[in-house]
Structure 1
Amino acid sequence: MYRILPIILLLLSFISHAQTELVLDICDAMPSDWYKKDLTKLVVKNGQGYCVSPTKILDKRIAKLSNLQELVYWNDIYQMDSNSNVTLPEEICKLKKLEKLSTNVISDQVFKLKELKQLSLSFGNNTDILHELGLGELTKLEKLSLSFGNHPSDLEVKGLANLPGIQEIELRNPTQAIIDAALQNSNLTAITISQTEGMSFDFSKCVNLKSINLDFNKLSFVPASIYNLKNLEILSLTYNVISNVDPAIAQLSRLTNFSMYHNTLVSLPEELANCT
């Protein structure tokens, strides 16, 4: 009996967990009673695949999910261009417990969710909203991921430089202005920037950084400001065109993980051995 009890408790926990989460992939249809469930997590994906399924639309009934903490709403970019009904309803702002949002359906409502702690946005051509609204109201953000497709070279993200609680930022294909704004946040402990070319990186204000990932940026050298980050533990510079590393890397006494594969390195400085 005592051996069976833990298994029963585990099963009950699994059942309870399953009842609070609803995951709808590309091929899944939207259940008619989705808004009646006591959900804490909702994942909805639309797209083109090996199946044919009606587009899953979130409407005003989402306000009934009062305990929802995490929402993923993702749509195939081609389907988004042809379906104007794919959007986030205004009622999403009534979800006071929503802390995590991941979507490529960008609307005004996203930037009014003041309780968000984690936000992941993927932009196509719809970047104008970043100038108009920006991130200024999202003062509780701790983790932010922004991925860009086609965008003007002078694109900026309003409020990005002044996020009081931000700890982690991930940027894919950003502009120089976006990079500069992100690196104004002194509270950052981790940053990932990828798919850039010809950009500069000034980490001098990011004194609390522990992790930097600059993979896939066509860098020809290690940004000099990195060598002054005394708290840095992880540095990844893979898939660039770096041929040399300055002996100043010895200043990174807490560095425990240093990735440089797929570069054009001739040698590494002996001083690297002085790192942890």
Structure 2
Amino acid sequence: MKRYFYRASDKRFWSIEDKETSYNTSYGVEYLGRERFGSKSFSSIETCQKNIEKEIQKKMDDNYEEITILEEFSGVSTMQDVWEIQKALKEQPLKYYLNISPPILIKALSRITSIEELTLRNVSQLPDEIQQLHNLKKLSINFNPNSKGQITNSLGNMEALQELNLENVFSIENFGNLENLKKLNIGFWNEGEGIIPQNIDRLKKLTYLRLFYAKQIPDTVYELKNLEELVFTYSEVKELPDTIENLSKLKKLELDFMYTNLMDQPLTLPHSFGNLGNLDELTIRWRKVENLPESFKSFAQLKN
């Protein structure tokens, strides 16, 4: 049997596991992210039990609190994970940050429908349970690059979501029904597929879009008529199509072609570019622009 203890004042954790004639301990400080281990053996089960109780009492006297872990979370391997679960289930915060996020933690968080902001780091795969966070407004996910993390149907019908940040994602199958999403930041892993799904045009309320290391960008991006800021960073934008004029609310357009295969190819702006009447900031890096359209003269308000 393993018992868990935590002291909130300095974020120290401690656990002890009964092995009949011996016990194992683990301890450390939460924010340092390091865990140390110890063990001790005895001549009999009775002697071991007495020493376990003595050690536990010392911790209780030193302001540690025992944490009760539900059976379905018994597979958690580190005390940091244990505390994350207990804290989530007990405090039910509106904002939550996980520096480590195995699926078991997300399953625990799925019980907390009040969460509005969630940051997950070092994620391998996103479990379907995240769809149960119906009130989530902001979600940031940083995938472990070695895991080839994918977005399939995991986002489902998270209709309350307004901001989605994805970093080191390998591939995206679809965006689900994110009808209220306003801000989307996609950072592909540089060795990932880098394909933006065709159904991105379903994100009708999107006002901000940043694509990092995108290799295939569908024309449906230019159907997002509420976009005010569009940023392509290290992305394979061969040409801007005439349909860019659909982005009539666009205020900022940024294209950075560093690390792409297009750096030596000139970029020609379409004639319809001049119809972007609200554009006041244009940045183009690492690619030469040739043959500016006559309509470009209408941009007297441009900052860059």
Category of TM-score, reference length = shorter chain: 0.5 to 0.7
Distance 2:187 2:282 in 1: 21
CA apart distance, 1:127: 4.2
User: Measured at CA, do residues 86 and 229 of structure 1 come closer, stay the same or move farther in structure 2, by a change above 3 Å?
Assistant: closer
Partner of 1:234: 252
Partner of 2:287: 263
Structure 2, unpaired ranges of 5+: 1-7, 12-28, 36-62, 68-77
Which structure is larger by alpha-carbon Rg, 1 or 2?
2
**TM-score, length of structure 2 as denominator length:** 0.61
Partner residue of 1:62 out of 75, 88, 93: 88
Instruction: Map Cα deviations across residues 234-257 of structure 1 (whole Å, 9 max, x no partner).
Output: 111122635222232110010011
* Aligned residue runs from structure 1 range 70-89, under 5 A: 70-75=95-100, 87-89=104-106
Distance 1:134 1:98 in 2: 17
User: Measured at CA, do residues 149 and 142 of structure 1 come closer, stay the same or move farther in structure 2, by a change above 3 Å?
Assistant: closer
Partner residue of 1:91 out of 92, 108, 129: 108
User: Measured at CA, do residues 232 and 256 of structure 1 come closer, stay the same or move farther in structure 2, by a change above 3 Å?
Assistant: same
Partner of 1:100: 117
Amino acid at match of 1:73: L
Partner residue of 2:232 out of 214, 219, 223: 214
User: Measured at CA, do residues 269 and 32 of structure 1 come closer, stay the same or move farther in structure 2, by a change above 3 Å?
Assistant: farther
Partner of 2:178: 163
What SS class does the counterpart of residue 90 from structure 1 fall into?
A: helix
User: Measured at CA, do residues 182 and 28 of structure 1 come closer, stay the same or move farther in structure 2, by a change above 3 Å?
Assistant: same
**Does the CA-based 8 Å contact 1:60-1:90 persist in structure 2?**
no
User: Measured at CA, do residues 199 and 188 of structure 1 come closer, stay the same or move farther in structure 2, by a change above 3 Å?
Assistant: closer
Distance 1:179 1:32 in 2: 50
CA apart distance, 1:184: 2.4
CA apart distance, 1:28: 5.5
**TM-score, length of structure 1 as denominator length:** 0.67
CA apart distance, 1:135: 1.8
**Does the CA-based 8 Å contact 1:230-1:251 persist in structure 2?**
yes
Distance 1:119 1:72 in 2: 10
Identity of aligned residues (%): 17
Partner of 1:15: none
More strand per residue: 1 or 2?
A: 2
Partner residue of 2:297 out of 264, 273, 276: 273
**Does the CA-based 8 Å contact 1:237-1:259 persist in structure 2?**
yes
Distance 1:251 1:34 in 2: 65
**Does the CA-based 8 Å contact 1:88-1:107 persist in structure 2?**
no
Distance 1:90 1:203 in 2: 33
**Does the CA-based 8 Å contact 1:184-1:205 persist in structure 2?**
no
Distance 1:256 1:238 in 2: 17
What SS class does the counterpart of residue 122 from structure 1 fall into?
A: strand
Distance 1:168 1:260 in 2: 22
User: Measured at CA, do residues 201 and 193 of structure 1 come closer, stay the same or move farther in structure 2, by a change above 3 Å?
Assistant: farther
Distance 1:99 1:232 in 2: 28
Amino acid at match of 2:137: K
**Does the CA-based 8 Å contact 1:193-1:214 persist in structure 2?**
yes
**Does the CA-based 8 Å contact 2:95-2:116 persist in structure 1?**
yes
Structure 1, unpaired ranges of 5+: 1-18, 36-53
CA RMSD of aligned residues (A): 3.4
Amino acid at match of 1:95: I
Distance 1:146 1:27 in 2: 25
CA apart distance, 1:225: 2.2
